[in-house]
């Protein structure tokens, strides 16, 4: 694709004039970020707490997620389940999720009902009541959740153990759902202490996207949250990952017909780079060169060309809080060993290290990034997610505005440079899932 088309794309992809995001910080330290979007009479309201599994330690793994469940189980003024009942009666949809670095609670509702969401969220920020009976049932539910998500899904087990192998000292090794043993031994006091410690206005951000007036939202936020006193939030002890100076490998046998391969190289994120911030955008582009659709290298050479894999891809997040992994994953085709698949990925890496990528590929990736930025505007929920995910790990959400330009600046030399720097076999962890009946090599 010609540069001219790319330039044309960039001109088209200019956002509507009113599309801007504004923020304020309440006196108690709570951040409020609002983006007006008047396309539909709805709003998404999200409260993001800066707490997740990377703040946990062995023995209480999964506590952030269990606490998330408990947030629906009653406050001083609400019975268990009443929160959800009220939102439902107002025509709202709601849910919550816990991740490695944050726990977020959201409602999607007609925009004239925003106030009830804020009132209820303010209430449960401080007033959750822990009842022994409710806690016991909810931990049982989370154990079923673990059985459903992980224990009976060998690929999920592989992933969990892969992370715990790649990361020895970093809290990234802790599964967000929690180890089953920890869930079985979790006490109500563990959850309530966690709540006291981390749930505070100065450890939270309210993100609102939709058919609202930002000044009105700030007024409501003040009305409902300003009286909540801040806590002293003690940051967790730093737990950097020790330098990896040699490859690590694990094998897992499970109920599967095909093997499955995970490879992870230690990768930078925004917070770990001082001088070479552009590295993260180059890595992101590299990921797109490999796995950015059916014309990308993995599909072209590994799925179609040599038919080595039935599915394969890469994964990388430049904006994670803690330095993570650049991941290669795939299912080998019938008659292909996971070792062969691994060699194919290594071969792709070598190609990236030895030969600059083509202009055509770079333009394709950039065109996709430009277009995707526009497509992202279609979903208020996704916009809220993007803002919350950046803010909750300590990044400026305005990175969303500079993202496209930063990607557009990436050159073939940049991609080659990061391929050489970060795909070092001494920084690699490999995890292989084997069908149960097979022991050792095929």
Partner 1 sequence: MNTMLFKWSVALIASFTCVIQSAHALDIRSWETSNGVKVLFVESHELPIVDVRMTFKAGSSRDGTLYGLSRLVNSLLVEGTGKYSAEDIALTFESTGSEQSHDSLRDMAWVSLRSLSDQTLLDKTSDLFARVVALPSFPQDAIDRDRQSMLVSLANRKTRIADVVEDAFFHHVYRDHAYEVGSHGSEETLKSITQQDLIDFHTRYYVAKNANLSLVGDLTMEQARQYAEQLTRYLKPGKSAEPIAAASPAPSAKTINIPFKTSQTHIMQGMPILSRKDPDYYALYVGNHILGGSGFSSRLMQEIRENRGLSYSVYSYFMPMENSGPFEMALQTKNHQAEEATALLQKLLTDFIDNGPNEDELDHARKNITGGFPLKIDSNKKIVDYLAVIGFYDLPLDYLDNFNANILAVTRSDIQDAFKRRVKPNNMVRIIVGGES
φ and ψ at 310, to 5 degrees?
-90, -20
What is the C-alpha to C-alpha distance for residues 29 and 386, in angstroms, rounded to an integer?
Answer: 21
Q: Are 206 and 224 contacting, i.e. CB atoms less than 8 angstroms apart?
A: no
In the complex, least distance from residue 274 CB atom to partner 1, rounded to whole angstroms? 21
Q: Is there a catalytic annotation at residue 144?
A: no
Residue 231 CA: distances (Å) to CA of 28, 226, 388:
9, 13, 21
Copy the structure tokens of residue 184.
């079985």
- Using the structure block, give the residue that is written with the tokens 């759902």: 177
Considering the candidates 23, 56, 68, 121, report the single residue annotated as catalytic.
68
Nearer to partner 1, 230 or 241 (CB): 241
Nearer to partner 1, 190 or 218 (CB): 190
In the complex, least distance from residue 399 CB atom to partner 1, rounded to whole angstroms? 9
In the complex, least distance from residue 221 CB atom to partner 1, rounded to whole angstroms? 22
Nearer to partner 1, 227 or 376 (CB): 376
What is the C-alpha to C-alpha distance for residues 353 and 416, in angstroms, rounded to an integer?
Answer: 5
Residues 6+ apart with CB under 8 A from 268: 276, 279, 280, 283, 318, 323, 422
DSSP 75: B
Q: Are 298 and 352 contacting, i.e. CB atoms less than 8 angstroms apart?
A: no
In the complex, least distance from residue 379 CB atom to partner 1, rounded to whole angstroms? 5
Q: Are 48 and 205 contacting, i.e. CB atoms less than 8 angstroms apart?
A: yes
Give the strand order in the sheet containing 324-332: 248-254, 428-435, 260-267, 324-332, 309-315
Nearer to partner 1, 34 or 289 (CB): 289
Residues pairing with 352 in the sheet: none
Nearer to partner 1, 172 or 204 (CB): 172
In the complex, least distance from residue 26 CB atom to partner 1, rounded to whole angstroms? 26
- Give the catalytic positions in this structure: 68
């Amino acid at each position: 694709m010609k540069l001219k088309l790319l330039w044309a794309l960039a001109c088209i992809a200019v956002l509507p004039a009113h599309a801007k995001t504004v923020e304020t910080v309440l006196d108690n330290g709570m951040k409020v970020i609002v983006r007006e979007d008047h396309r539909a009479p709805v709003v998404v309201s999200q409260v993001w707490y800066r707490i997740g599994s990377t703040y946990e330690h062995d023995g209480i793994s999964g506590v952030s997620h269990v606490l998330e469940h408990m947030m629906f189980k009653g406050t001083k003024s609400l019975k268990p389940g009443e929160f959800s009942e009220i939102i439902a009666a107002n025509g709202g949809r709601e849910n919550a999720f816990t991740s490695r670095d944050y726990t977020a609670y959201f409602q999607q509702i007609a925009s004239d009902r925003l106030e009830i969401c804020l009132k209820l969220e303010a209430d449960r920020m401080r007033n959750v009541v822990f009842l022994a009976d409710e806690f016991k049932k909810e931990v049982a539910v989370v154990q079923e959740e673990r059985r459903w998500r992980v224990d009976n899904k060998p690929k999920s087990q592989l992933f969990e153990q892969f992370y715990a192998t790649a990361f020895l000292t970093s809290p990234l090794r802790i599964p967000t759902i929690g180890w089953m043993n920890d869930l079985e031994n979790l006490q109500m006091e563990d959850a309530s202490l966690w709540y006291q410690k981390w749930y505070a206005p100065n450890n939270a951000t309210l993100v609102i996207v939709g058919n609202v007036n930002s000044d009105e939202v700030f007024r409501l936020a003040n009305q409902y949250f300003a009286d909540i006193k801040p806590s002293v939030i003690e940051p967790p002890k730093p737990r950097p990952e020790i330098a990896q100076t040699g490859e690590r490998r694990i094998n897992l046998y499970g109920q599967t017909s095909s093997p499955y391969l995970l490879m992870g190289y230690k990768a930078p994120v925004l917070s770990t780079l001082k001088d070479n911030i552009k590295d993260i955008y180059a890595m992101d582009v590299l990921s797109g060169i490999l796995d950015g659709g059916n014309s990308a290298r993995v599909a072209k050479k590994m799925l179609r060309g040599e038919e080595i894999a039935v599915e394969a891809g890469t994964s990388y997040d430049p904006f994670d809080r803690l330095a993570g992994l650049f991941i290669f994953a795939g299912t080998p085709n019938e008659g292909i060993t996971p070792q062969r698949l691994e060699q194919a990925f290594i071969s792709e890496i070598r190609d990236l290290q030895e030969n600059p990528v083509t202009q055509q590929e770079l333009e394709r990736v950039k065109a996709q990034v430009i277009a995707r930025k526009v497509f992202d505007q279609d979903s208020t929920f996704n916009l809220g997610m993007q803002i919350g995910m950046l803010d909750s790990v300590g990044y400026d959400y305005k990175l969303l505005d500079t993202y496209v330009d930063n990607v557009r600046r990436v050159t073939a030399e940049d991609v080659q440079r990061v391929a050489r720097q970060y795909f070092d076999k001494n920084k690699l962890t490999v995890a292989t899932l084997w069908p149960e009946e097979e022991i050792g090599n095929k």
